Amino acid sequence: MSETARLFSQRQAHWTAAGLTGRAVFDALARDSELPTFFTEVDVAAIAGLTTFAIKQRRVRGMQPSFSRFSSRCVRYPREAICTWLADMLHARAA
């Protein structure tokens, strides 16, 4: 696990311990200044529990998460886009 993915997990635990649940956790993470503004493909894969190949395939197919291309070899994922994507993957439990 990358250092950034570890930090993301720690901040997620922080917001959960503060009483936030569901989408509210990811909304807080999207605004969390202790996290980097942009994540690498390796970071996103580690955070989401996917392979870097899966992240690349999602990008090629035009699927979330949104990304920024700074050069032909430099692709980064904005913190807000990652958090929105993760929040969108949440499924509500039936009561």
Phi, psi dihedrals of residue 77, rounded to the nearest 5°: -115, 120
Q: What's the confidence (pLDDT) of residue 90? A: 85
Distance CA 68, CA 33 (A): 19
Q: What's the confidence (pLDDT) of residue 1? A: 79
Residue 31 C-beta-side C-alpha neighbours within 13 Å: 6
Summarised one tens digit per residue, pLDDT across range 38-50 is 999 999 999 999 9
Q: Indicate yes or no: pTM above 0.85.
A: yes
Distance CA 76, CA 4 (A): 13
Per-residue pLDDT of the chain (95 residues; tens, 9 = 90+): 789 999 999 999 999 999 999 999 999 999 999 999 999 999 999 999 999 999 999 999 999 999 999 999 999 999 999 999 999 988 766 55
